[in-house]
Structure 1
Amino acid sequence: MSLHKQPDLKEAVLNLSQKEKDKLLVRLVGKDKMLMKQLHFQLLEDQIDLEDRIEKLKERLQDLFAEGRHSIKNLPMYSHYKGLQMLLRQASGIINEHEKITKDKFSEVECRIYILKEAFQRFPRLFEPTAIHPGLKLAEYVKARLRITTNKFDKLHEDLQFDLQESMQQVLDFAQEHGLI
């Protein structure tokens, strides 16, 4: 139940003393880990911290793909399709968390392009036409990721798009070659 559907409760909360509101706020923030991370970033971090976060994010994604190289092979087999889809989901989750905390659109798009490019470069055979169900599911998942990434890319300022244009074009070329768009 949300507060805007409870106008009486909202009014009662607004009428509390400042001290009581502060106590409630601290208790509520402590119950939501994502909210705590967002507030920490907004209130206690600056541009240098954002750059550090972006570097750590890129390192995590690189490590994730390096680990994936050992368990996922570039062979069109059931387990490899499933493994790559799980890897891409995990990488997307890491990027989603980064974006929710920082609201930094450029690094989000940059990292989304990176994971697609890495998947295409490391595992091109997994994107060839197949009748294996996990292969079809992987293709559908990647199509959705491509749409999301393309939409977010298109919303960036043209100067920012310019910085990512080459990588984005490589991703789109591969996707078109393999019938993903």
Structure 2
Amino acid sequence: MSLHKQPALKEAVLNLPQKEKDKLLVRLIGKDKMLMKQLHFKLLEDQLDLEQRIDSLKERLRELFAEHRAALKNIPMYSNYKQLHLLIRQANGIINEHEKVTKDKLSEIECRMYILNEAFVRYPRLFERSAVHAAIKLQEYVKARIKTAVNKFNTLHEDLQFDLDEDVQQLVGFATAHDLL
């Protein structure tokens, strides 16, 4: 139940003594891991920490693709479609967490472009037309990720767009050639 739907409770909480409110706040924060991460970033970290987080995120994504290099082949087979779909979803989950904590749009878009371009470069045959259900699911998922990434890219300031233009052109070029747009 939402607090804004219960104005009496909200008023009562606001009227609590400061010490009691502080205790409640600390208890509530401890129950939400994402909120703890967001507060830690907002209250205790600076620009240098953000740069370290971004470098760490990029390294984690590179390692994720490297880990799957042996198991995932550029051969249009059911298992490869499924494996690549799971890999891209896992990478997007990592990026989602980073974005929720830092609210940094540039690194989010840059990393989303990276995972899509990496998948296209490493596994181009998995994006060719196919009647295999797993291939269709993978391609629909990737279409949605491309649309989201391009839309977010278009909201960036033009100077930032300039920095990412090469990645976007590579992404859009591959997507257009493979009917993913």
Same fold (TM over 0.5): yes
Q: CA RMSD in A?
A: 0.4
How far the C-alpha of 1:97 sits from its partner, in A, is 0.2
Confirm whether residue 175 of structure 1 aligns to residue 175 of structure 2: yes
How far the C-alpha of 1:104 sits from its partner, in A, is 0.3
How far the C-alpha of 1:154 sits from its partner, in A, is 0.4
2:149 match: secondary structure: helix
How far the C-alpha of 1:47 sits from its partner, in A, is 0.3
Aligned position for 1:51: 51
Confirm whether residue 153 of structure 1 aligns to residue 153 of structure 2: yes
Aligned position for 2:127: 127
5+ residue gaps, structure 1: none
Corresponding residue pairs, total: 181
TM-score (norm 1): 0.99
Separation of aligned partners in 2, 1:120 and 1:14: 53
Aligned position for 1:12: 12
**Structure 2 letter corresponding to 1:104:** D
Separation of aligned partners in 1, 2:70 and 2:95: 22
5+ residue gaps, structure 2: none
**Structure 1 letter corresponding to 2:155:** K
How far the C-alpha of 1:51 sits from its partner, in A, is 0.2
Aligned position for 1:81: 81
Aligned position for 1:69: 69
How far the C-alpha of 1:165 sits from its partner, in A, is 0.1
How far the C-alpha of 1:68 sits from its partner, in A, is 1.3
Identity of aligned residues (%): 71
2:180 match: secondary structure: coil
| Superposition misfits of 4+ residues, deviation over 4 angstroms | none
Separation of aligned partners in 1, 2:98 and 2:69: 24
